[in-house]
Structure 1
Amino acid sequence: MSEFSPSALGTREHWDAVYSRELQGFQEYGDEGEIWFGEGSMTRVIRWLSAQNIPLCSSILDIGTGNGMLLVELAKAGYNNLTGVDYCADAIALAKSICEKEGVSRSVTLQVTDFLGSFSPTQQFDICLDKGTFDAVSLDPDNAEERRLQYVQSLCRVLKPRGLFVITSCNWTAEELLRQFGKEFELKAELPTPSFSFGGQSGHSVTAMALQRRD
C-alpha cells in the first residue's frame, strides 16, 4: 500500500480555512468554489448509479460533502433522499446556501459532524459516496493509519449490509483500495476514468470504483 507524507490537507484547520474562504466567496460573488476532481467526476458517479437502476428514493450519504455540489447534481438527477456530512461548519453553511440557490433543499439534509467520530445516524444508508475525503484522511499528520481504520469502521457502521460504497480517489489505485476495504467489501465495478500516457507507460490519475458491503 502506498504511503503519503503527512500534509495540511489531512488537518481540520486546513479545511476550516478553505471553506471559510469559499463561503465568503459565495456570499460576496456567488462563487460556488472548487469541485474536487472536476465536474466529470460527479457525472461519472451519477451515470453509474443510473445505469444500476438505483431507486431515486434510496438513502444516499455524501461523506465529507464540502460545498455539496455532488448532492446538488444528484438532486437534479431526481434522487430525493440525500444526506451530506462534513466536520467543517463553513462547508455545511456553504452547501446549504448552494442547495437553496439551486432549489434542491427539500431533497437534501446537511449536518456538521465528524464522520470518524460523532456521526450517528438513526438508520443505515443504502449508498455512501466519497470524493476525496478518504484521500484527506490518508494524509492526517498525526496517525493516518489509525484514521484509515477508523474510516472503514465508521463506514460499516452507517452503511447497510450489501449497501454500495462509491469512492473517487487520486491517492490510491484500485488494488490499494481493495486491500484497504477488502475485508468488509467486495468489488462491484470499476468506473472508467480518463487515462494518460507518459514514457511509454499508461495509467489513470484518478481511481473510481464501487464496492459492495459484505453481509
Structure 2
Amino acid sequence: MSLYHLKIRLLSDTTFGRGDGVAGLIDSEVEHDRDGFPYLRGRTLKGLLSEECDNLIAILPAGNIRDRWQKVACAVFGSPGSSLNTMASIHVGDAMLPKDLRQAVAYQIHQENKLTKTEVLDALTTIRRQTAIQLDGTPDKGSLRSFRVVMRQLDYTSDLIFESEKAEIEDVLIEKNEMLSLLAVGALSLRYLGSGRNRGRGHVQCRLFNNTENDVTAELSNFFGTVKEVSV
C-alpha cells in the first residue's frame, strides 16, 4: 500500500454541490462536514479524474498505445461491473482543507464553544445570485437563483491510496508508474470541478504529490503516451 496526495487550489469561486438548498436562504448548498468545512466527495473527484483520463486516452493514436492506456485506466479506476480481478487499484479520499486547521477549529467549536458551524461555513463561503436575461435586457421573471460558493485561493488535499504496486487486466501486467503517469496527466487536465463548472465556476489547479510532499506531476506525466509490451 502506498500513499499519494492530489492537491487542488481553487482559482475561482467553486460550488461543491450536494443537490439541495436551504429553504428561504439559497437554492444550492455546498457539501460540508459537521463543523462547517466545505469538501468534495472522493467518489465525485474520482469520477472527474476518470473522465479527464478517458478524454486524453481517446486522442492517442489507435492501436497498441491506446489499447494499453485503456487497460491502465481500467486498472486505476476499475470498470463497470468490476470483479475482484478488475476492481480499482486506487482509493480516492475526500478533498478536504488542511487537517491542522480543521482540528484547531473543531476544538474551538466542541471544547471552547467559541465558534459555531454556521460561522465557519460563512467564513469560507459566500452566496452568489444569478438570473436569466431576456433579449430586451430585462430579467426573466422567476429565474432568480442563489447558490453558495467556496471562496477562491483555498487549498484542498485528497489522499490517493494504492492498494497494490501492480495490476493485471486481461492478462496484461500494469505497472505502478503507468498508473501514476495516468493520474498525473489527469490531474493536469482537470481544470474545472463542482456545480457550475461549465459556467465559469470551479476553475482549479491540480498537482500530484508523493508521501514526502514532493510534486511529482511533471516527472510522472512524461511516461504518458508510451507503450510497454509487458504481459503475463
TM-score (normalised: structure 1)? 0.27
Report which of the two has the higher share of helix.
1
Greater C-alpha Rg: 2
Using the size of structure 2 for normalisation, the TM-score is 0.26
Higher strand share: 1
